[in-house]
């Protein structure tokens, strides 16, 4: 079977919906299969790879930082990139440049990059399939 290229466009910001959990489950499977993956992180999703995200304790749960082990999407993005590389694939993760500027989240997980809608267009043209998960 020839190698597949999948593009996913995301719009939801981190910590606001279940859409991103669904997206990461799909991305994880694609990475395990060695697919080449393109991600266009648009609008709120441009914060997913913001590198200054920090896990926190949870006093309601009665847990400190280590016990709560709060997930951060920046760690999930980094894990995705590593998983793809380990399985012979690659991830081209593009953070919409204007979106990160307006949010002040222009420090990215290494291996992701700044881009524009032109990247999404190029991704769509070059992919076997495209999945858009929009904000509702």
Minimum CB separation of residue 105 from another protein in Å reads 16
d(CA 26, CA 131): 10
- Closest by CA to 4, choosing from 40, 30, 38, 35, is 35
**Binding of residue 28 to another protein (CB under 8 A):** yes
Choose the stretch contacting another protein; rule: CB under 8 A; options: 11-19, 36-44, 94-102, 103-111: 11-19
Task: Give the Cα separation of 43 and 89 in Å (integer).
Answer: 26
Q: Which stretch binds another protein (CB under 8 A): 26-34, 98-106, 117-125, 128-136?
A: 26-34
The span from the CA of 5 to the CA of 89, in Å, is 9
- Residue with smaller CB distance to another protein, 55 or 104: 55
Residue closer to another protein, measured from CB, 61 or 121: 61
Pick out residues in 52-81 that bind another protein (CB under 8 A).
Answer: 58-61, 63, 67-71, 73, 75-76, 78-80
d(CA 50, CA 104): 9
Q: DSSP character for 108?
A: B
Position among 16, 64, 107, 128 found at the interface with another protein (CB under 8 A)? 16
């Amino acid at each position: 079977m020839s190698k597949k290229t999948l593009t996913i466009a995301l719009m939801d910001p981190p910590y606001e919906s279940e859409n991103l959990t669904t997206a990461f489950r799909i991305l994880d499977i694609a990475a395990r299969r060695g697919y080449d993956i393109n991600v266009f992180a648009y609008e709120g999703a441009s914060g997913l790879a913001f590198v200054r995200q920090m896990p926190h304790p949870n006093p309601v749960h009665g847990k400190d930082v280590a016990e709560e082990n709060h997930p951060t999407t920046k760690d999930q993005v980094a894990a995705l990139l590593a998983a793809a590389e380990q399985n012979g694939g690659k991830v081209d993760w593009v953070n919409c440049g204007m979106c990160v500027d307006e949010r002040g989240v222009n420090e990215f997980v290494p291996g992701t990059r700044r881009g524009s809608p032109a990247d999404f267009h190029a991704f769509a043209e070059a992919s076997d399939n495209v999945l858009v998960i929009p904000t509702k």
